Amino acid sequence: MLVRAVYKEEKVSRLIMFHARECPHCKAMMPHVDRLEKEQNVQFERLEVWHDEKNADLMRSYRPIIAPKCGGQLRTPTFFCPETSDVLCGEVPYEKLKDWVLKQG
């Protein structure tokens, strides 16, 4: 008897957190990000932008998408999903970040 198991491959959206080492709002969000990674089995790509020019360039490359949703500028922390072009800016409550993550699919 031949048994074949077929696993549906889940597409996981790329989730980016643009942050800055000295940013107090970023520091406040880190425990929320850690908690979400554990509870929802998601992974954020944490990219520091104040001291890493490559990461800053990447964030700037998304300026046309991010800035209009963040008060017209690039700021930290910014949560971004390239697949959906969805953005969440600033220090937010855990539940708001969780809702944003779950919306990304």
pLDDT (tens digit, 0 to 9) for every residue of the chain, 105 residues total? 444 444 444 556 899 999 999 999 999 999 999 999 999 889 999 999 999 999 999 999 999 999 999 999 999 999 999 999 999 999 999 999 999 999 997
Tell me which amino acid residue 57 is: D
Per-residue b/e over 33-71, b at no fewer than 16 CB within 10 Å? beebeeeeebebeebbbeeeeebbebbeebeeebbeebe
Overall pTM surpassing 0.95 (yes/no):
no
Spatial strand order of the sheet with 78-81 comes to 44-48, 15-19, 78-81, 86-89
In the three-class reduction of DSSP (H, G, I as helix; E, B as strand; rest coil), residue 42 is classed as coil
Architecture of domain 15-103: 3-Layer(aba) Sandwich (3.40)
